[in-house]
Amino acid sequence: MKILVVGGGGREHALVWKISHSPKVKKIYCAPGNGGISELAECVDIAAANVTELVEFAKNHSIDLTVVAPEDPLAMGMADAMQKAGLRVFGPAKDAAAIESSKVFAKNLMKKYGIPTAEYRVFEEYNEAVEYVKKARYPIVIKAEGLALGKGVIIVKNADEANQALKAMMVDYAFGQAGQRVVVEEYLTGSEVTVMAFTDGKNFKPMVSAQDHKRVYDNDEGSNTGGMGAFSPSRVYTPGIAKQVEEIIIGPTIEAMAKEGRPFQGVLYFGLMLTEKGPKVLEYNARFGDPETQVVLPRLKTDIIDIFEAVTEKRLDQIDIQWEDNAAVCVVLASGGYPGEYSKGYKITGIESAVDDSGVIVFHSGTRQEDGEFYTNGGRVLGVTAVAGDLDSAIHKVYQGVDKIHFQHMHYRRDIGRK
């Protein structure tokens, strides 16, 4: 088979790596890919959001299956366009991807179908939102409706902060169109867990659980990032909670989407808060998570192409998906300054010796390859992942790998996996 993976970060490197293990696969393309991906796939210089050119590319290269990984092309209707052109695609249609691209749609869906989530109100008028937050009990959470690279969620402690957030979103358009409508919601406390599930629109198979570390510094200090690391499994997501989540959240969400005439095909990501009153949904994503995918896929035993085929042929119930009984930890190596301003173009050394340790894999997020050397080319540069029998061994091993890698102004967290 010829496979096209759309995207070019650590998540896509993990996907390409897993796909490359399938005996069914003869050739992998990745658009746009990155330095590390280019060792496993032919990188194609087309942007992930360029729907028209990628459909053309898939047609011209007789691609058997396209895997659309990032949210933007899904929200723009890339899966629909591929299907219309008679091409096989893994990933939801535009109206199903709305579960991520519109927080208002997602919240209203949960309310309509009784899926547990934080209490909320939706505002289109700035003045009404300002009136509402005068009387709120703090902290509360203010979310821009649309896609904002994980930055459109602001937790506020008082009315002043709430006003600032509302003004930024609804008056100054800090998140563009994404902030035209806002969701103001109850602040939930508990442990955050990520659970992703493969689904064909009717059947679903949950993956192993994971947790990510969003803040830039140790002990969850500093600003939010796209993710500084992740580990799998979660220590708090017990089999009992998993069963409950499948019954009251995963199953009902997939059924709700089908009833709404928006059957969801692909990976549905559940960002959960395990509260005192039970698990509740913080957010849905219409795709694999990043960096969670970098710790979940290394634990998958089953050929991922078999799963993708079962999903696209709507027979996911007929396949048995197997996971290793082990643990994985991923530490993100970032450019100093990220998520704010940073410089790039620094030479990276030590990747090969880090990988020599059995069980260490280095996924590239933002790198560029030139004359056989890798250079930094983004905020998040590498995801160093170690797989071992248990979490503590994986943590030990991952930092042994990290210690061997260097580039100027490299920054990473030293407490990944310890929560």
Q: Half-sphere exposure of 408 toward its Cβ, with a 13 Å CA cutoff?
A: 8
Among positions 6, 147, 153, 386, the unique one binding ligand AMP when judged by CB under 6 A? 153
**Interface region with ligand GLY, contact rule CB under 6 A, candidates 23-31, 76-84, 285-293, 388-396:** 285-293
Instruction: Choose the one of ligand GLY, ligand AMP, none that binds residue 292, judging by a C-beta under 5 to 8 angstroms depending on kind.
Output: ligand GLY
> How distant is the alpha carbon of residue 20 from its chain centre?
20
**Helix (H, G, I), strand (E, B), or coil: what is residue 130?**
helix
Instruction: Choose the one of ligand GLY, ligand AMP, none that binds residue 290, judging by a C-beta under 5 to 8 angstroms depending on kind.
Output: ligand GLY
Question: Is residue 290 a contact residue for ligand GLY (CB under 6 A)?
Answer: yes
C-alpha 19/C-alpha 305 separation (Å) is 7
* Amino acid at position 34, single letter: N
**Residue 12 vs 212, nearer CB to ligand GLY:** 212
How many residues bind ligand GLY (CB under 6 A)? The answer is: 7
Q: Half-sphere exposure of 4 toward its Cβ, with a 13 Å CA cutoff?
A: 30
Burial 284-309 (b: 16+ CB within 10 A, else e): bbbbbbbbbbbbbbbbbeebbbebbb
Instruction: Choose the one of ligand AMP, ligand GLY, none that binds residue 212, judging by a C-beta under 5 to 8 angstroms depending on kind.
Output: ligand GLY
Question: Is residue 297 a contact residue for ligand AMP (CB under 6 A)?
Answer: no
For the segment 183-212, give every residue that binds ligand AMP (CB under 6 A): 185-188, 192
DSSP alpha helices (H): ranges in 282-408? Answer: 292-296, 304-312, 351-356, 391-402
DSSP calls for 245-299:
HIIIIIHHHHHHHHHTT----EEEEEEEEEETTEEEEEEEESS--TTHHHHHGGG
| Tokens 């990628």 found at | 54
For the segment 42-81, give every residue that binds ligand AMP (CB under 6 A): none
CB of 65 to ligand AMP, least distance (A): 29
Question: Is residue 150 a contact residue for ligand GLY (CB under 6 A)?
Answer: yes
Question: Is residue 285 a contact residue for ligand GLY (CB under 6 A)?
Answer: yes
DSSP calls for 227-245:
-SEEEES-SS--HHHHHHH
Report the residue number whose CB is nearest to ligand AMP. 283
**Residue 36 vs 152, nearer CB to ligand AMP:** 152
**Residue 127 vs 164, nearer CB to ligand AMP:** 164
**Residue 18 vs 143, nearer CB to ligand AMP:** 143
